[in-house]
Amino acid sequence: MSALLTILVSALAAYVLIYYNVFRGSRCRSRATLKGRTAVVTGSNTGIGKATALDLAKRGARVILACRNREKAEAAVYDIRRESGNTAVLFMHLDLASLKSVRTFAETFLKTEPRLDLLVNNAGVMGPGRTEDGFGLAFGVNHLGHFLLTLLLLDRLKASGHSRIINVSALLHRLGSVDFNTLNTHKALVTGQSSWHCFRAYCHSKLCNVLFTRELANHLEGTSVTCYSLHPGVIATDLVRNMSLWLWLLMLPFSKLFFLDSEGGAQTTLHCALQDGLEPLSGRYFSSCGLQEVSAAGRDDALARKLWEVSERLCGLS
């Protein structure tokens, strides 16, 4: 019995040590208030996007939930208004899997909102399928939709003063690559639709987020707008809602034991959005509320420039 107790205590101690030192992550320490500021958060009807929107609303910002599902987004608006006491929280329809929807959102926003101080490109998917425009789902939603959205809103960000763009990437960008031949041939970052292909496509799309941020910083040089990419941590969200049942069941126990909750997963996003003094680090990558180095591919300026040029062409901007 004593041997069993020793094993259980040791296992518990190991779990606590791993959780608090590896998975738990750091907290955003900024006390900034956002009265008079406007923020757009994509994919904010659930998960870390909703937690991010809630925190910004508590700080007094006007927060726009840019989401695809109206019913879920309106429920999130209700929750955030109630918990924050901020009534300046609203839903605007945005389907990142449709470049037409992205353009419509931007047109509506520019007509109705006089300023934009924070653009949080948070939405992400992992799964099979194609966008309305025929692109692989991960590439089309995680990168291309956000790329177009950002460029369409860039002038409003510049006009609003010291604004920031936050691109939620992932540690898995380190497993990513960009094959332009595959992209040109298949309009996707991978050639198949299996669970393995979907995982690889997700990794590749997260590298695209890092590369986009790096090149965007070059385009923003000399302006008052800065941009950052980040790894939010390992989060227990519905990111894999499009994945197969067996993979979801495989991940479930690990997510319950080790993954961050949505509030914990929003902390690095909030750090990049709110922390004073980050302006000289525009274009860089953060994790656990601190500056981190990216993969070698993520530091490839030529790759970043080519991705920008290809993305412009695919969006019809060039």
The pLDDT tens digits of the residues spanning 55-72 come to: 999 999 999 999 999 999
Listed in order, strand segments (DSSP E) in the chain are 38-42, 62-67, 89-93, 118-121, 164-168, 226-231, 285-287, 290-292
The domain in which residue 206 lies consists of 2-315
What is the predicted pLDDT for the residue at 260?
72
Handedness of CA 280, 224, 65, 83 (dihedral sign): positive
> Residue 65 forms beta bridges with which residues?
41, 91
Which one has a higher pLDDT value, 251 or 31? 31
**Alpha helices (H) along 86-221:** 99-112, 137-138, 146-159, 180-186, 195-220
What is the predicted pLDDT for the residue at 111?
98
For residue 202, indicate whether it is catalytic.
yes
Q: What is the pLDDT of residues 95-119, one digit of tens each?
A: 999 999 999 999 999 999 999 999 9
Q: Is the pTM of this model over 0.95?
A: no
Share of the chain above pLDDT 90, in %: 82
What is the spatial distance between Cα 285 and Cα 296, in angstroms, rounded to a whole number? 13
Taking all residues of the chain, what is their mean pLDDT, rounded to a whole number? 90
What is the spatial distance between Cα 52 and Cα 41, in angstroms, rounded to a whole number? 8
Position 88 pLDDT exceeds 90? yes
Q: What is the CATH number of the domain that holds 75?
A: 3.40.50.720
pLDDT band at residue 290 under the 50/70/90 scheme: very high
By C-alpha distance, which of 199, 197, 285, 271 is closest to 239? 199
Active-site choice (15, 19, 78, 202): 202
Angle at 196 between CA 192 and CA 202, to 5 degrees: 85
What is the predicted pLDDT for the residue at 234?
77
Q: Compute CA distances 63 → 53, 116, 248, 316, whole Å.
A: 7, 10, 32, 29
**Count of the separate structural domains present in the chain:** 1
Q: What is the pLDDT of residues 28-41, one digit of tens each?
A: 999 999 999 999 99
